[in-house]
Structure 1
């Protein structure tokens, strides 16, 4: 799965949750993205969060 495909899947899930009345806030959305990324993205995540 490419990063673009991954982000589209996360967006679909977030949109579905919002449609059923359980929207994620921005922090939860970002956490969901970061939590699903492979370990090779850890330096990027650390950079973004600091």
Structure 2
């Protein structure tokens, strides 16, 4: 899959927590952020499907 660079801002404390979790999981913060974005998309897709 092609990757796209984006520029955004995050709450500083939230990003610190993500970086700490990434270290604990031996992964990188970007992968965790991407996983979270996928989770949000699926969450709202399910809500949309339930309302129809």
TM over 0.5: no
Q: Which has the higher contact order (CA 8 A, sep 6+)?
A: 1
Q: TM-score, normalised by structure 2?
A: 0.38
Q: TM-score, normalised by structure 1?
A: 0.39
Larger Rg: 2
